[in-house]
Amino acid sequence: MPRRKKHSGFDTVAAVDLGSNSFHMIVARWHDGEVITVDRLKETVRLASGLDAKNRLSAEAQERALACLGRFGQRLRDLPPGSVRALGTNTLRKARGTRRFLQDAEEALGHPVEIIGGREEARLIYLGVAHTLADDGGRRLVIDIGGGSTEFIIGERFEPRLAESLQMGCVTFSALHFPDGRITSRRFRQAELHAQLELQPIVAAYRALGWEQALGSSGTMLAVDRILHEAGLEKTRGMSLPTLETLRARMIEMEHIDRLSLPGLSDDRRPVIAGGLAVIIGAFRALGIERLTTSDGALREGVVHDLFGRFHHEDVRGRTIHHLRKRFAVDAAHAERVIAEARRLFEPVAETWGLGEPDGDLLSWAAELHEIGLALAHSRYHKHGEYLLTHADLPGFSRLEQSDLARLVRVHRRRLHERLFEDLPKARRKRLMRLSVLLRLAVLLHRSRTDAPVPLARVSASSKAIDIAFEEGWLAEHPLTAADLEREAEQLQALGFTLKAS
C-alpha cells in the first residue's frame, strides 16, 4: 500500500448504541495508551416493540427514540465530526421506511447514524468484551442478548473466529411467547425450543471449534446474573443451567410478569426478562454450556476501541479490504498503481470539492478493489464487483460505507448515467459523484498496466469541472490516452461535469 496521510484522530470519542431495547451512550478519553470512560448514559426505549407486522416503526416508538437522542445530543453535540459513531442494530436493520426517521435522529443527536449488519455488530461486541479481559490467549465464546437479536462469537484475544447474529432477543421473544404477560411452563418450553431451533444451523461449527471460557454481555445477561446472586441461587461467579432452571421455576410460580418479585430485577427489565431467560436456557442446552460468566463490555465499548484503533493503531477496514484483495486474487501491482494515482488526483481537488480524509480512504479502498469482479468474469466485471461488495461481510464497515464502496466500484468504468446516483440524498450524491470522477480518471491513466509514470503537471477543479495538465508533449506521444480522455469527457457530461485535459 502507498503511504497515506494518517488521520490526526481524537483524544475523546463517543459511541451510541441504538439497540432494540435500550439506547446507550459512552464517552471515552485516550490517555497514554489507555481508554478511560468519562461518561455513560442509558435509556430504555423499546424500539423493537414499536415494529408492526410490516416492520414499520410506530410514531410512539419514534418519539421515544428521538427524545432520547435529543438528550444524548446535548452531551455530544460539541464533539467534532468523526469522533462519534451512532450505530443502529437489529430493529433498525429490519425497519422499513425509516429515511425520515434517520434524518430526524441525526438532527437530534448532532452526528450521523449508521446501520450495521449482524456480523459487524458481533465483531464490535466481541471487541468490547475482549478489552475487559486479561489477554490470556484463550478461546472465548461470547453471547450478547439484545432486544431483537442475539450475537454468538468465538474468538481469541481481540480477533473473532466465528460470528453470527440470530433473530431472537428479549423483546421479541417476550412479545411472541408471553404476549399477555402470563408465564407458564408450556410457554417457557416453547420459547426455549424456539431458541434451540434458531441455534441449530451453527451448533456443529461452534462445538467443533470449541472454547475455554463462555461469557455473556449486555442487559439481559447482566440482569439474570444479578438476580441469581442476589436471590442466593448462585454462590460463585457466573451461572449454570441448574440455577437458570431454578429461576425459571420461580418465575412460573409467580404466574405473571407484573407479579415478578425477584431481588435485583429492575422495573424496566421486568417486561422482557422471561423472553431473555428463555434465550439463555436455549443457548445453554444447544451449545452444551456448563458455566457462563458475565462481562461489562458490550457493543458501545467495542465501538470506542474500534474508533481509537482507527486513529492510534490500525483501521480494521483497511485490513478487510486487503484480505478481500488477496481472497479474490486482485492484481496487487495494478491496484497499487491506481491507488497512488487516485490519491494524487484527490489531494489538489479535495478542498475545492469539500472532500475529507474519510473520503480519501473510501476512494483508496475502491481503487484497491476496482477489479474484484474479475474473479467472476471479465464481461461486466464492474457489476460483478458491485454485487460482491454489496453482499459480502466487511468487518469495520457500516452498511452505508459498504454501499458507497460498492457503488464506486460499479461506476469506475463503462457508461455513466445520473440514475446510478439518483436514489441518494443530495449531499451524499454529490460526494460520490466527485469520487467516481477521480476513480475513473485514475483507472484510465493506467490502462497500460505498466509502471511507466504519468507526468501530471497540474490538477485543479471548480464545482463541476476538473482540469488536468500533463507535461508538454506527453499526450501527443500517447494518443490512446488522449482518445480515452476525450471519451471520458463525454461520459462525465452525463453527470454535469466538465473534464479538460491538456
The 3-class SS string of 211-233 reads CCEEEEECHHHHHHHHHHHHCCC
Complete domains list, the chain, with CATH: 12-117+302-308 (3.30.420.40), 133-295 (3.30.420.150), 315-452 (1.10.3210.10)
Q: Which residue has the cell 411472541?
A: 176
pLDDT for the residue numbered 194: 98
Question: Is pLDDT at 137 greater than 80 in this prediction?
Answer: no
Q: How far apart, in whole angstroms, are the C-alpha atoms of residue 455 and residue 477?
A: 12
Residue ranges with strand state E in 130-231? 139-145, 150-156, 159-166, 213-217
Mean pLDDT, range 143-155, rounded to an integer: 95
pLDDT for the residue numbered 7: 43
Residue type at 267 in one-letter notation: D
- Beta carbons of 139 and 209 less than 8 angstroms apart: yes
Backbone phi and psi for residue 240, each to the nearest 5 degrees, phi listed first: -135, 165
Q: How far apart, in whole angstroms, are the C-alpha atoms of residue 60 and residue 94?
A: 17
Question: Is pLDDT at 2 greater than 60 in this prediction?
Answer: no
Q: How far apart, in whole angstroms, are the C-alpha atoms of residue 42 and residue 16?
A: 10
- Interstrand relation of 150-156 and 139-145 (parallel, antiparallel or unpaired): antiparallel
Report pLDDT digits (tens) over 52-93.
Answer: 989 999 999 999 999 999 999 999 989 998 899 999 999 999
In Å, how far are 254, 260, 274, 279, 283 from 183, measured between CA atoms? Answer: 8, 10, 8, 15, 20
pLDDT for the residue numbered 240: 97
pLDDT for the residue numbered 319: 86
Q: What 8-state DSSP symbol labels residue 131?
A: T
Q: How many CA atoms lie within 13 A of 291 on its CB side?
A: 8
Question: Is pLDDT at 134 greater than 80 in this prediction?
Answer: no
Mean pLDDT, range 451-463, rounded to an integer: 94
Q: Which cell goes with 225? A: 446474573
Using alpha carbons only, what angle is made at residue 436 by residues 320 and 406, rounded to the nearest 5 degrees?
Answer: 35
Distance of alpha carbon 68 from the chain centroid:
21
Mean pLDDT, range 280-304, rounded to an integer: 95
Distance of alpha carbon 211 from the chain centroid:
25
Nearest to 56 by CA among 17, 18, 86, 99: 99
- Beta carbons of 127 and 302 less than 8 angstroms apart: yes
pLDDT for the residue numbered 50: 93
Question: Is pLDDT at 6 greater than 60 in this prediction?
Answer: no
Nearest to 140 by CA among 150, 151, 149, 129: 129
pLDDT, averaged across the chain: 93
pLDDT for the residue numbered 1: 36
Question: Is pLDDT at 444 greater than 70 in this prediction?
Answer: yes
Integer-rounded Cα radius of gyration of the chain? 26
Does residue 197 or residue 312 have the better pLDDT?
A: 197
Helix ranges (H only) for 372-445 are 381-391, 399-410, 426-444
Distance of alpha carbon 180 from the chain centroid:
35
Mean pLDDT, range 91-104, rounded to an integer: 94
pLDDT for the residue numbered 136: 66
Q: Which cell goes with 393? A: 461481510
Report pLDDT digits (tens) over 399-437.
Answer: 889 999 999 999 999 998 888 998 888 889 999 999 999
Q: How far apart, in whole angstroms, are the C-alpha atoms of residue 82 and residue 453?
A: 35
Report pLDDT digits (tens) over 346-404.
Answer: 999 999 999 998 899 999 999 999 999 999 999 999 999 999 999 998 888 888 899 99
Question: Is pLDDT at 337 greater than 80 in this prediction?
Answer: yes
Q: Which cell goes with 381? A: 466485471
Mean pLDDT, range 280-306, rounded to an integer: 95
Question: Is pLDDT at 315 greater than 80 in this prediction?
Answer: no
- Helical (H) or strand (E) element with 113: strand 113-115
